[in-house]
A and B are shown apart, each in its own frame.
Chain A
Amino acid sequence: MDIAAKLTLNCDVTRHVLVSFLKHEIQRFGFHKAVLGLSGGVDSSLSCFLAAEALGPENVLAVLMPYRTSSHESTEHALQVVNTTRVSHKRVDITPMVEPYLELDPHMSDVRRGNVMARMRMIVLYDQSMLWEGLVVGTSNKTELLLGYGTLFGDMASAVNPLGDLYKTQVRQLARAVGIPESIVQKAPSADLWAGQTDEGELGFTYADVDQLLYFLVDERFTAAEAVAAGFDAKFVATVARRLRTFQFKRSLPIIAKVSRRDVGHDFLYPRDWGT
């Protein structure tokens, strides 16, 4: 199977569906505006382009939320996206909010520090969403969601997510198609939580490789053994399969202890778009 070919998008159809999705799933609840965290990476840049197309740039607020160690390049790229899309923007430095908490524990690990920053950004975004009267647009892609590579209640929090069913390599294809500059599309993906951090360095494999494996396992439903037989490295397959299982909790709402005949979660089952 030529998996790279299988991951190739018709960008016109995909863009049409995602722009319509944002427009309809936001407007049906009586909102006309959206707010999103814009880091200058390819995911949030694409979400910003799609939201601007769906709602009009005047109805989109991009919030830049740097921390003191965030790279200047990230901010430059974010401003480039703001200028191209003509969305409204606001800069909220999270350093003075984050720092007092980090100082409580000088030995805090990078992952913990990163989670604090991601959750502080969520607090800012949801507060700005009330002020702006718009819904929070998510920027998590399918690769991140499947690998559990995100902060629960941090960057994973949103009201609507247009990118959650696109692998990272598909995000890049669509980003190019909507006109996002190559400098943003091509740079090494990073959560920018500490200096020199890259997604691929932290994960231990490339998006190009893992997207193919995830597509093979998740979309095509081949088994791990079949993936190894097809030529994927056995250790790589085991690592990814473990991540898929281990991080299922991040893709679920908190589980509720069932004691009544009808509880939220198990058998009180209404569509979210109820009555809209």
Chain B
Amino acid sequence: MTKLKVGLAQIAPKLGDVQSNLRLHLDTIQQAKQQGVQLLCFPELSLTGYALRDLVADVAISAGADDPVLAQLLAAGQGMDLLLGFVEADARHRYYVAAAYLSEGCIVHVHRKAYLPTYGMFEEGRYLARGERMRAFDTAFGRVGVLICEDFWHMSAGYALWLDGADILLLTSASPGRGLSPEAALGSSQSVQLMNQAYATFFTDFVVHCNRVGFEDGLNFWGGSTVFGPDGSLLAQAPQFEPALLTAELDLAALRRVRLQLPLLRDERPDLLLKELKRLRDR
């Protein structure tokens, strides 16, 4: 498969209302199917909203195919792969910011957010547990890695997925807009776009970033979802602040052409890094 049509569902979830958000997901899935989307990505915590605080436990679901919410999405997603965000409860009552990749009726992969921002306006560490893994996984479109918002502010997260074979990075966010200046975009959106482009350039990967829109408790979410190609070029961008279903066709064969010109992956030396990390750990 050399072409992949991705869809980015830049939605405004309802805070703490999983059933309402499930309907929004199902409607968006139908729209995306009509447009021939093969992989549809939803933003961080797309089933729950972001500023949950004590609602975390109320909206949490288990990451199993028998969960009634996921079961409906698994059924609706037949013929199209899905990435969606939710609060995952594990068997021992810990709660995670999670993203599940669904394909052909199966939960292929669940990523638990490993970096929980707990500073400034963020308080995730107060309510949620940290994920402990960065793992890429295989799909019909190639090997994929998923990161959630603060995860990709840590370069090591993207790097680990790249070395684990991810050629397509799927990044999801509920990123609050902030930082006024004379520029036509808020400061936080400029930083995120810069990082996405840097990931695409450094890793010669496709980088798909789906951010949400809407307001919660006075926070604005700026949207502006993007798709970057493995040469770092911007392939598609959704509008800022407005709901959208952004689609883009990825020419997966571009990975070969770009990496012939720029063999960064071939020349990467993880053993050298590991040696230095061990030295730093042991000193």
Contact = CB atoms under 8 A, between A and B. Distances in A.
A25 B215 contact: yes
Contact of B54 (A9, A16, A270): A270
B180 A9 contact: yes
A261 B220 CA distance: 33
Given A17-B241, A269-B54, A276 B184 contact: no
B216 A170 contact: no
B7 interface: no
B45 to A, nearest CB: 13
B184 A170 contact: no
A71 interface: no
Interface stretch (B13-21, B32-40, B101-109): B13-21
9 contacts: A17-B177, A20-B220, A25-B215, A269-B54, A271-B53, A271-B216, A271-B217, A275-B14, A276-B15
A274 B59 CA distance: 12
B183 A10 contact: yes
Q: Is the interface of B mostly helix, strand, loop or mixed?
A: loop
B241 A16 contact: yes
Interface in B141-166: none
B97 to A, nearest CB: 16
B180 A170 contact: yes
A275 B180 contact: no
Contacts of B22: none
A25 B184 contact: no
A21 B54 contact: no
Interface in B193-235: 214-218, 220
B14 A10 contact: no
Contacts of B241: 16-17, 20
Nearest to A276: B15
B181 interface: yes
Q: Which of A5, A10, A13, A28 has the most chain B CB atoms inside 10 A of its CB?
A: A13
A16 B222 CA distance: 11
B182 A24 contact: no
B95 to A, nearest CB: 14
A112 B97 CA distance: 50
Contact of B214 (A13, A24, A268): A24
Contacts of B53: 269-271
A20 B53 CA distance: 24
B204 to A, nearest CB: 33
A5 B182 CA distance: 8
Given A17-B220, A20-B241, A21-B215, A271 B16 contact: yes
B180 A271 contact: no
A223 interface: no
A78 B186 CA distance: 32
B181 A8 contact: yes
A175 to B, nearest CB: 15
Interface in A242-276: 268-276
B17 A8 contact: no
A5 B183 CA distance: 12
A8 B181 CA distance: 6
B182 A9 contact: yes
A12 interface: yes
Closest 10 CB pairs of A and B: A24-B215, A269-B53, A271-B51, A269-B54, A8-B182, A271-B217, A275-B16, A273-B15, A273-B217, A270-B54
B185 interface: yes
A14 interface: yes
A273 B182 CA distance: 30
Contact of A268 (B54, B184, B217): B54
B125 to A, nearest CB: 14
A9 B183 CA distance: 8
B54 to A, nearest CB: 5
